[in-house]
Every structure is written in structure tokens, then in C-alpha cells.
Structure 1
Amino acid sequence: MKINFTTSNIINIYKNNRTIQNNNTVKANRSDSIEISNVSKEIAKYLSVAKDYDVVNEKVDRIKEQIKNSKYDIDTDKIAKSLLKELKGCE
């Protein structure tokens, strides 16, 4: 069996090893990242509002049922206080 190691073969092996090491270094420096687009952020806002809307609908349905059954009580003092508070805030 004959093994030929010439200077050019040794240099080529060295260059190949160096290239492999450089590629590994470049791969190690890479990192994954994601960014949410502005459109996705807007969609998230609308979904949030839609969830809150369902809560409001439940409250409206509950009040409608109370009115239908003549069980809904209106607290006039609470309404007056809220109106005064809003009017004072507008000045």
C-alpha cells in the first residue's frame, strides 16, 4: 500500500479543515428570531375587543331578562352620582 503525502495534499487537507471550522463558527453565531407584523398586532387588538364585546352582550342579556321578569331595580342615587362625577370631570 502506497501513501502519498505531498506538500500540496497536506495544504489542501489543512484548508479543508479550516473551512469546516469556519462554517461551524458561522453556524454557531446564527440565532433564530421572529417578529410579529403590524397587521398581526392589529388583529390581536380586534380579537381582544371582540372578547370584551361578548362580556358586554352577556351583561345586556342578563339585564334584558331582569327587565322582562320585572326584577330590574334602577338605583337613581347611583345614576345621579355618576352624572355629577362626569359633569365635574368635563369642566
Structure 2
Amino acid sequence: MKINGINPNKIISAYGDNKKKVEGKDLQKVKGTDSIEISSLGKSLKNYSLDLNPAASNEKIERIREQIEKGTYKVDGKLIAQGILEEMKP
């Protein structure tokens, strides 16, 4: 059984053939614009929050940030694993 490697010339010629096909078309006629639209449901989700008190959330973030800077922040792996499993449940 004979196994040949990849011939770079075949790859280059395939690219060249494709380039000729693209250059042959008049791409100026196809001028589209991209747009995005957010649904009303998506817009309503910006107001959704699990924490009803954003000030408490900001305080918690600051407290954790300070603990990280001081090197006193401890992570409980079991709680993290439990949270991941809870999020994965249907």
C-alpha cells in the first residue's frame, strides 16, 4: 500500500481556480448590509436579575475583590461543583 503526502501544488491550484471563479463575477452588484435586531423578549431580559438588590451585588463584588487582593479569598470546590450541577439540571 502506497500513501502519498499532501501535494502543496494541488492545494495552491485549487485556491487559484476558486479565485478565478470569484474574480469572474461582478461582486459590485451584490452590495448588502448587515443588520441586527433584538427582539422584544431580548430587550426585556436586560431588566432580569437574580439579585433584586444590585447594590448588595456590587458590595459583594467589592468584598470579594478585596479578599483576592489580600490573598484571603477561599474557594469551596464542593459548592462550585454543586452550583454547576444545579445549573445543568433541566
TM-score by length of 1: 0.40
TM-score by length of 2: 0.40
The higher radius of gyration belongs to: 1
Query: Which structure shows the higher helix fraction?
Result: 1
